[in-house]
Amino acid sequence: MSHDDRVALEEALSQARPSAYPDGEYVGQESFMSASEIRLLAVQAGIRAGTSVLDLCCGVAGPGRLITAELGCDYLGVDASASAVALARQRAGDLSCRFEVAQIPPVPAGPFDVVLLLETLLAFPDKDTLLRGIASALPPGGRFGLTVEEGAPLTRAEQAAMPHADTVSLIPLPQLMTCLQSVGLDVRWSAECSLAHRARADALAQAFLADRRAIRRRLGGRALDDLVTSHRLWSEWLGSGRVRKFAVVAQKKTAGSALE
């Protein structure tokens, strides 16, 4: 996406996105996570002043700016989109955030105390390679904070219904747990957020429709239709249990001993 297209997208959704969240819960995120959920995951991952944090697929870094401002961590956000990173840098202002444009994988060399991957695990068909890279960037005792959409892979009919289905690679939760264990990461905390994110998907779909004239004018009718369709499908799948959503923190094993 070009810088101009990214700016157009952000401007087109600048009214709808904030209106879909309760007061104080929108911080520039491009996802279903609320500010409270971002804070909780960050705290569970042990992020505090001086913690080195690598945020993969950071986008325009709403969550990264929040945790840097509130927790004082040493933050590096990485995204393949140069236009997203440019906006992230602009919005960070005087915050001590750093950003890089890079394709993931490979994962930047560590060590980092914490690696974050928020709302984008589903975009990686090859999760084994990604998780090996993340584990290699963590020292023993380092933490990996992520969100995951868990469920069986999409059927052909579901792929046909979901816009940009090539970015939706689901994974069953037991398979993810096995993948994490295989690279030396033990789950230390998890919380299901399916119902909250279903409500967020509904609210966003309604907000897009409420502001449809402005969105259609800036992005076109097809983009508006895709936004509404995808959010309605996420609501349906999260509500029916076809997909479940979790926040997870895993910790890298220490050499020669079990985690305490």
Q: pLDDT digits over 214-242, tens only?
A: 999 999 999 999 999 999 999 999 999 99
Q: Which are the contacts of 161, defined by CB distance < 8 A and separation ≥ 6?
A: 229, 233
pLDDT score recorded for residue 80 = 95
| Candidate CATH numbers 3.40.50.150, 3.20.20.70, 3.30.70.260, 1.10.150.110; the one for domain 3-251 | 3.40.50.150
Average model confidence (pLDDT) for the chain? 95
pLDDT greater than 50 at residue 259: no
pLDDT greater than 90 at residue 8: no
pLDDT score recorded for residue 4 = 67
Q: pLDDT digits over 146-205, tens only?
A: 999 999 999 999 999 999 999 999 999 999 999 999 999 999 999 999 999 999 999 999
